[in-house]
């Protein structure tokens, strides 16, 4: 039986890089996003080229009713879910210093990046426990895509940093809670990855990378994150639940 993975924010950027790697590793996929289905047809076509089954589950994970609908679509089509990749995330609409940032921006970013992810994970975890109790051969795992911003301060997007720091603690909490059921939970922290989200600051990071920002002097690509995810879902790290995998080209290594 083929395993099924749900990837939030999976139709572009890092999420699509993850989806490509899982498709190549034989997974059937449920791709979540907020765009209309017509806007993700090309992405879905590229994923089904691997010979797997792919469905699109439109919905905003910041909404409780839409989270429920996403999971309903997955269950109606596949019956069960083996892997949850919490990748969906947004940046502030406007980068503003923390002394000036708005409460509205804080609420919007936290609702998607942290609250929505937290409660989607709660729902999926409970379903995974049921499947595990019914079938001893059932295998599952959860992976949270956070960011180097979980520990590196950017004072012009504080709400984003706080959301990712909270997601890091959520990883540990769920890893501890699900340990008794042998359902591992991991966190991946990407560094500077070439996506739509970073397109607006490309010139800035081109210069910083050239000046030695990263040990490996290049941008990260979505496939770099995807390959790390693929290793985790294959079970290549069977005794490492709750751990952080850095995919940042050495950016966060302390250097003098």
Distance CA 75, CA 79 (A): 4
Contact 147, 192 (CB under 8 A): no
Contact 213, 248 (CB under 8 A): no
- Give me the count of residues in the chain: 256
Q: In what order do the strands lie in the sheet with 244-247?
A: 54-58, 28-33, 4-7, 83-86, 141-145, 185-190, 244-247
Partners of 142 in beta bridges? 84, 185
H or E stretch at 246: strand 244-247
Catalytic residue list contains 239: no
Take residue 174 and report the two structure tokens written for it: 């769920």
Nearest residue to 33 via CA among 66, 5, 2: 66
Per-residue burial over 34-45, b if 16 or more Cβ lie within 10 Å, else e, is beeeeebeebbe
Take residue 218 and report the two structure tokens written for it: 């290049």
Residue tagged active-site, from 56, 78, 160, 239: 160
- Sequence-ordered list of residues with C-beta below 8 angstroms from that of 141, at least 6 positions apart, any chain: 82, 83, 84, 183, 184, 185, 186, 232, 233, 235
User: Which are the catalytic amino acids?
Assistant: 160
């Amino acid at each position: 039986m083929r395993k099924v993975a749900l990837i939030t924010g999976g139709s572009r950027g890092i999420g699509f890089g993850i989806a490509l790697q899982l498709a190549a590793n034989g997974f059937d996929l449920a791709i979540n996003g907020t765009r209309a289905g017509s806007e993700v047809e090309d992405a879905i076509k590229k994923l089904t080229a691997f010979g797997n089954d792919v469905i699109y589950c439109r919905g905003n994970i910041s909404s409780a009713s839409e989270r429920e609908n996403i999971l309903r679509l997955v269950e109606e089509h596949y019956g069960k879910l083996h892997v949850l990749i919490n990748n969906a995330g947004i940046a502030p609409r406007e980068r503003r210093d923390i002394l000036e940032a708005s409460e509205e921006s804080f609420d919007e970013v936290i609702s998607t990046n942290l609250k929505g992810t937290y409660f989607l994970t709660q729902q999926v975890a409970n379903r995974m426990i049921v499947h595990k109790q019914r079938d001893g051969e059932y295998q599952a795992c959860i992976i949270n895509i956070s960011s180097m911003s979980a520990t590196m301060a950017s004072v012009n997007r504080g709400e984003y940093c706080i959301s990712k720091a909270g997601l890091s603690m959520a990883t540990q909490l769920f890893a501890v809670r699900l340990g008794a059921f042998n359902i591992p939970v991991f966190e991946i922290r990407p560094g500077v990855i070439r996506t739509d989200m970073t397109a607006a600051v490309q010139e800035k990071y081109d210069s910083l990378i050239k000046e030695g920002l990263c040990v490996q002097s290049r941008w990260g690509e979505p496939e770099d994150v995807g390959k790390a995810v693929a290793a985790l879902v294959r079970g290549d790290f069977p005794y490492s639940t709750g751990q952080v995998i850095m995919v940042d080209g050495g950016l966060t290594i302390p250097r003098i």
